[in-house]
Amino acid sequence: MSTSSDPAVRALPERDRVALRRWLFASIVAVFLAVAVGGITRLTESGLSITEWKPVSGVLPPMTEAAWAEAFAEFKKIPQAQTTHKDITMSGFKLIFWWEWFHRIVARSVGLVFAIPYLWFMVQGRIPRQLRLRLTLLPLLTLGQGVLGWYMVQSGLVERSSVSAYRLTAHLGLALGILAVAVWTYSELRPARSRADRVVNRDDSPDASRDSAFAETDRAPAAWRWALRGMTALLATTLLSGGFVAGLRAGKIFNEFPLMGGQIVPPGYSQLGAWYVNAFENPAAAQFHHRVLAIVATLFALVLVWRVLRAPVSALVQQAVLRLGAVVSVQLLLGVTTLLLAVPVALGALHQFTGVLALTAALVATQRAGGVVWGEVQPRASLGDQGVSLGARVSRNAIPAIAKQITPHTANTTRPTV
């Protein structure tokens, strides 16, 4: 029997579940590393130091003094070399070159971390049909991220002295998209039947002695699932608005909080005409929107924290919401400090990193609230008047343990479906 709090449980051999989860964990770590290195690359104004895109031979840096001189000469032709880096020397150039080179090496490694295990799992037939589309998307999107990265860099090589804020935000957005798919699937592949999956704070909560072998994954009530989806969408929008703040160098103006130029809405807010042009091209408006979104997101997260302690959700959801509230609060403080100090490299990079961490926390909370898990042993125990009935897939090895749990009477009348 299926009720609204039933989990959506899917079967997957334990060995494959663990292997896929390890792969996704490695991929998530790789994306975080790429985000951190990408952030530092941008904040040190290093991103335009390599003026060509050679996906394979570009792995090798210049090897001779002549090759360095040639790379330096190419760099000097771009507008940024006459503005931001107008006094740069060869040793300064080498420094920014190495950052961008490292960024590109990390990006290539992320591609390999996604692609090689993916191909191996596919050849072995270990990716279940329902996961095939999204796991195929991962290496493809990572490849697309490389192309988008180069498209972004190109926008800073002629006419402009920095890259387009639109392209920078698209690059950030795609990184978040890749991360979201990996984090969501990783969370779905968590081990099922953990006691922490049980709903707490529910009047009809089954007693612990009865549920130890049958701990189900309970779905949170619809209001909670929607609230967490809304939280995730709000955070994602806040992060993307941060991309525009970074792209428009809007962290270098109005280095004050909470007011901007002594006003709530900054002077010059609508100087570019239509609101949507201001939102994406006017640094004052971009910073204002980012602040408002961030404050609303933080308040929302804190309300969720306050409510979750008494909500009929599983302990796993509770933990995830508490973590989310903590990370978002830290992120707000980091954002204000970053702004007040006019974006020092270390703080700017940390602020970006923690922003991505906050989105990860929101995704995990939302996924857990949905109650979908994968696993081999998934008895769905419905403890009604008729005793225990097991309607889901159960591994053969689990049958003796299950039989012990149910009364002799029900043991005779109920057959697990294998």
Residues that bind ligand HEM (CB under 6 A): 39, 42-43, 172, 235, 238-239, 242-243, 245-246, 251, 257, 290-291, 294, 297-298, 328, 331-332, 335-336, 338-339, 343, 348, 351-352, 355, 358
Residue 351 CB, shortest distance to ligand HEM, in Å, is 6
Residue 41 CB, shortest distance to ligand HEM, in Å, is 10
Residue 94 CB, shortest distance to ligand HEM, in Å, is 24
Given a contact cutoff of 8 angstroms between Cβ atoms, the answer to whether 128 and 189 are in contact is: no
Alpha-carbon distance of 411 to 413, in angstroms, equals: 6
Alpha-carbon distance of 303 to 317, in angstroms, equals: 15
**Closer to ligand HEM at the Cβ: 246 or 394?**
246
Alpha-carbon distance of 187 to 364, in angstroms, equals: 6
Residue 245 CB, shortest distance to ligand HEM, in Å, is 4
**Closer to ligand HEM at the Cβ: 237 or 405?**
237
Residue 389 CB, shortest distance to ligand HEM, in Å, is 46
Residue 59 CB, shortest distance to ligand HEM, in Å, is 25
Token match 């969720």: residue? 304
Task: Name the phi and psi angles at 400, rounded to 5.
Answer: -60, -40
Q: Single out the residue of 412, 415, 408, 411 nearest to residue 391, CA to CA.
A: 415
Q: Indicate the angle between helix axes 315-340 and 222-247, nearest 10 degrees.
A: 20
Instruction: State the DSSP code for 203.
Output: T
Alpha-carbon distance of 211 to 414, in angstroms, equals: 17
Token match 């031979």: residue? 57
Sequence-distant (6+) residues with CB within 8 A of 275 are 285
**Closer to ligand HEM at the Cβ: 39 or 111?**
39
Alpha-carbon distance of 238 to 235, in angstroms, equals: 5
**Closer to ligand HEM at the Cβ: 366 or 378?**
366
Residue 241 CB, shortest distance to ligand HEM, in Å, is 8
**Closer to ligand HEM at the Cβ: 296 or 401?**
296
**Closer to ligand HEM at the Cβ: 141 or 349?**
349
**Closer to ligand HEM at the Cβ: 42 or 368?**
42
